[in-house]
Structure 1
Amino acid sequence: MHLRILYRGPLASCNYDCPYCPFAKRRDTRAQLHADRAALERFVDWVTANPHGDRLSVLFTPWGEGLTRSWYQRALVTLSHLPHVERVAIQTNLACRLDWLADADRQRVALWATYHPGQVDRAVFLGRCTALHAMGIRFSVGVVGLPGHLAEARELRAALPAETYLWVNAAEGHHYPPQEEADWSALDPLFGYSVRPHRSAGRSCRTGESVISVRGDGEVRRCHFVDTPLGNLYDGSYRSALRPRPCPQASCDCHIGYVHLRTLPLYDVFAGGVLERIPAERARVTPSTTGDSG
């Protein structure tokens, strides 16, 4: 089977202090960093061994910033060279050096990058995007759709190569009047999928079947937003729990969750780039209407 894994270890520290993020400028202790590194290395060893002979894709979704830590850089390089790993990606603010990517398989490694106005100079961020483009690294770029970010996002869109997808995440708790939604949709035609929660209770979702969430201790859940454990990665107990199942939540409002709903067409929209949030070429001009949100 093709198993997509979202891995989130104990790392929670970040070098940015975004006011909309609960982990802003949080510092992990040396012991916490050591535990995160050990957990990640154990996970990489498991993926390398691939005890069940699956095709695997991995997205790292750390609470904090992973790529400022050498062990995340090494993990992406190592996993990108494994023949049974189709894609390895990470969510990142790009506040790191990029030379290590020269050692990765550029057909398999990818970055899901977020631009945070006020935390980094736009020219610096764009310089890193230019470097990724020159290296042939797959990446998407996005922003949080706060009113104060709109002008910066427009400048960012104008400066990025046309083929680079710019996504916009609806800001938590923010109401988007029609004109404001239209302004953001002009930058990201798929913004409509983010701006309203999707009804999910009782509906078919790939999580828990071909998509799983893994914590640092190996505990497996169907996704980051459903806390019921399915078993443990390292003793294989999760395998018997993999099956089609309806979502137990009333709604889903985060891209890394609702992208897996079968009631939405997003596996076609993001064909070949589900984990790194890169839409198929034909989807880049698709209007962002779903008819299935509530």
Structure 2
Amino acid sequence: MDLTVLYRGPLASCDYDCPYCPFAKRRDSGEQLRADRAALARFTEWVGAYEQGRLSVLFTPWGEGLVRSWYRRALVELSRLPHVERVAIQTNLSCRTDWLAEADLDRVALWCTYHPGQTPYERFLGKCRELSARGVRFSVGIVGLAEHLEDARRLRAELPEEVYLWVNAAEGHTYSDEEADRWTALDPLFPYSRHPHRSAGLPCRTGESVVSVDGDGTVRRCHFVPAELGNLYDGSYRAALAPRPCPLTLCDCHIGYVHLETLPLYDVFAGGVLERIPAGPGG
């Protein structure tokens, strides 16, 4: 069975402290970091031994993973497994990029977010240019706050044309049509992010061909539905995989609503669902 896994281990430390970020912020202790490293090693071992079909993996850490050597190593190792179709990670791109020389660039990808005020613009743009020069597959995005608009316009003007620039609607923010038009001029897919999507009772791929896994191996249909489907490591999750409607009223996060069958996003992002790269121009 082909499966997409969204992995989120216990890592929560981040080198940034964005005021708009919904993620928890803390400084992980040495013990917590060792626990995260061990959990990731267990997960990558499971991926390596998977024999039921092809796998796609997206790492969605609460903190920043790529400043940790074990995440960089995991992406390299998983990208070289023949049954792994894609391995990607969400990142602020504060890490170095030379480690990607060891990865299979046909399978590894980065979902990068620029955070104004947390890192100099030129430093972030320089990292993007390094990725382009290395031939790495990546997308770049920004949170759609008014104070970020000029930085977003600069990014769109200075990034290679083929690099998709996405814009996330700011959590809890209501956009006027005029504001939305400004962001849509930069990201034609911004309308999908502007409003939460009604999802209650609607078919979704999560829980069938897409699952969320935590550091203990607990499997859920997605990050936003707490009901457990079983455990990854004892195989108990397999019997629970089945089509099922969404139990939530709304879905407002891209890593959730991209899997709704009522939206056309699997076609829009064909071949690039995990790394948020559209199939058409700019993708």
Percent of residue pairs bearing the same amino acid type: 73
Aligned partner letter, 2:210: V
Once residues 17 and 39 of structure 1 are traced to their aligned partners in structure 2, the CA distance between those partners, rounded to angstroms, is 25
Give, as a single letter, the amino acid of the residue that structure 1 aligns with 2:34: H
Please tell me whether residue 259 in structure 1 is matched to residue 258 in structure 2. Answer: yes
The 1-side partners of 2:261 and 2:22 are apart by 31
Deviations 1:101-146 (A, max 9, x none): 0000000000000000011111110110001001111000000001
Q: 2:12, 2:24 within 8 Å by CA — same for their partners in 1? A: no
Give how far 1:25 is off.
5.7
CA distance in 2, matches of 1:41, 1:128: 27
Q: Partners of 1:54 and 1:76 in 2: how far apart?
A: 19
- Asked if the contact 1:58/1:88 (under 8 Å) is kept, the reply is yes
Question: Distance in 1 between the 2:53 and 2:222 partners?
Answer: 19
Rounded Cα–Cα distance in structure 2 between residues aligned with 1:281 and 1:135: 22
Give per-residue Cα distances to partners, 1:67-100, cap 9 Å, x unaligned: 0000000000000000000000000000001111
How do residues 1-294 of structure 1 correspond to structure 2 at under 5 angstroms?
1-23=1-23, 26-50=26-50, 52-282=51-281
Provide the C-alpha distance between the structure 1 equivalents of 2:54 and 2:24, rounded to a whole number of angstroms.
35
Read off the aligned partner of 1:81 and give its amino acid letter: R
3-state DSSP class of the match of 1:91? strand
Residue pair 1:15, 1:25 contacting (<8 A) in 2 also:
no
Matching residue of 1:289: none
Query: Which runs of 5 or more residues in structure 1 are unaligned?
Result: 286-294
What is the one-letter code of the residue matched to 2:9?
A: G
C-alpha distance after superposition, 1:239-258 (max 9, x if no partner): 00001000000010000000
Report the 3-state secondary structure (helix = DSSP H, G, I; strand = E; otherwise coil) of the residue aligned with 1:281: coil
8 Å contact kept, 1:13–1:23: no
Q: Cα deviation per residue 1:15-54 (whole Å; 9 max; x = unaligned)?
A: 011111255762101110000000000000000011x422
Structure 2: distance between partners of 1:191 and 1:22: 19
Q: What secondary structure does 2:87 align onto?
A: strand
Q: Measure, in 1, the Cα distance between the counterparts of 2:5 and 2:37.
A: 18
Matched positions, count: 283
Question: Structure 1 counterpart of 2:42, which letter?
Answer: R
* TM superposition outliers: structure 1 runs of 4+ over 4 Å: 22-25
Query: Is the 8 Å Cα contact of residues 219 and 231 (structure 1) preserved in structure 2?
Result: yes
Given residue 158 of structure 2, which amino acid in structure 1 is its aligned partner? A
Partner Cα distance (2:129, 2:59) in 1: 23
- Return the TM-score normalized by structure 2: 0.98
SS at match of 2:226: strand
Contact residue 18 and residue 24 of structure 1 kept, 8 A: no
The 1-side partners of 2:113 and 2:24 are apart by 14
Aligned counterparts of 2:234 and 2:179: Cα–Cα separation in 1:
49
Letter in 1 for 2:4: R
For residues 214 and 25 of structure 1, the distance between their equivalents in structure 2, rounded to whole angstroms, comes to 20
Mapped contact 2:25–2:63 kept (Cα < 8 A): no
Secondary structure of 2:230 counterpart: strand
Letter of the structure 1 residue corresponding to residue 198 of structure 2: R
Amino acid at match of 2:236: S
- Contact 1:15 1:24 (8 Å CA) reproduced: no
3-state DSSP of counterpart to 1:213? strand
